[in-house]
Amino acid sequence: MTPELVVFWLLSVLTVASAVMVVSTPHVVHAALWLVVTLGAVAGCFLVLTAEFVAWVQVLIYVGAVVVLLLFALMLTRSPASTTGATSRNRPVAAFAGFSTFGVLAVVLTSGFRGIVLDLDSQPDQLGGAAPPERIGDTRSVGEAIFTHWVLAFEVLSVILLAALIGAIVVSGRVRDRDRQEAAAGGGS
Amino acid sequence: MDATPFLTLSALLFTIGAVGVLVRRNAIVVFMCVELMLNATNLALVTFARVHGQLDGQVAAFFVMVVAAAEVVVGLAIIVSIFRARRSISVDDASLLKY
């Protein structure tokens, strides 16, 4: 058993266990903190797959920004920490959907891609990629790919980010203005 | 080494996220489960990128992360807005959007 396989199995056990905790814990803040563990373990899987740039972007965006945003939303909405009613009543349907989803995905992914070799040692003659295999996944090669071949998608994504920023400001700010107008109208009458 | 363990982990993570979306009531926890599903697809993309020795899968995973960040921003704004309107963020209460 190779060392990277050992690391992968440890990370996969950590990923699955913490993902189950995200789904099953009744306390929402605990769910957010277990989500940090899950995302960090997936970032470790990316590192095992020699995707350094994606791993560090995962740590920066997900662990650094998204989870903090989720925690802010949890505090803004002051979610009740009670255990009653944390899960919905459709558990049998969800269990059936989960089993069927995993069955289909596992069968397709394992039988459809059975013979493919995941070569983590990166011999150059077996990897027919454009970039030299010893630097697949580092920041330089990914940056070159983004800003040459994928530059149009990158620009579209920047516009999407701007639209999301403006949209979030509009959606979350409109209610406060309406409340202020109602308060002013109520004070005037 | 075979690519099957990575793909199986991806399928398992996607399934856990899907079950969480179906089961949980809190809208923010539903968002977390959507993030789990997106991470599962990212894992599959990076695995296939490594298998083929090309960067396209990693770039696609990066784009998925950026779109997921935008989605979280807008979605959380909507959730906070719904909470201000009706003092609840349960997805069962918001089944009728206007009333």
Question: Residue A58's domain spans which residues?
Answer: 3-80+123-186
Helices and strands in chain B: count of H runs, count of E runs: 3, 0
Query: Tell me, what's the pLDDT at A158?
Result: 94
Which residue in B15, B31, B47, B52 has the most chain A C-beta atoms within 10 A of its own C-beta, making it the best mutation to test that interface? B15
53-72 in B: which are within 8 Å (CB) of A? 53-56, 58-59, 61-63, 65-72
Q: How many other CB atoms are there within 10 angstroms of residue A103's CB atom?
A: 12
Would you say residue A108 lies in a domain? no
Q: How many angstroms away from the CA of B76 is the closest CA of chain A?
A: 7
Give how many domains chain A has, as a whole number: 1
Q: Assign residue A21 the CATH number of its domain.
A: 1.20.120.1200
Task: Judge whether B27 and B94 are in contact, CB under 8 Å.
Answer: yes
Domain presence at residue A95: no
Asked whether residue A113 is domain-assigned, the answer is no
Nearest CA-CA distance, residue A92 and chain B, Å: 10
Nearest CB to B12: which of A85, A102, A130? A102
Mind listing the pLDDT tens digit of every residue in chain A (189 residues)?
A: 788 889 999 999 999 999 999 999 888 899 999 999 999 999 999 999 888 999 999 999 998 899 999 998 888 887 555 444 666 777 888 889 999 999 998 888 888 887 777 777 654 444 444 445 556 778 888 888 899 999 999 999 999 999 999 999 998 876 556 666 666 666 544
Complex-level ipTM: 0.91
Question: Does residue A176 form part of some domain?
Answer: yes
Interface with A, mutate which of B32, B45, B52 (most A CBs under 10 A): B32
- Residue A117, judged by CB atoms within 10 A of its CB (0-12, 13-18, 19+), counts as exposed
Cβ contacts of A146 on chain B, cutoff 8 Å = 59, 62
Which residue intervals of B4-97 are DSSP H helices?
4-23, 27-52, 56-86
Contacts across the A-B interface (CB distance below 8 Å): 265
Longest alpha-carbon distance in chain B = 55
Q: What is the pTM of this model?
A: 0.85
Largest separation between any pair of C-alpha atoms in chain A: 82
Chain A residues close to B77, C-beta within 8 Å:
167-169, 171-172
pLDDT of residue B42: 95
In this structure, is residue A85 part of a structural domain?
Answer: no
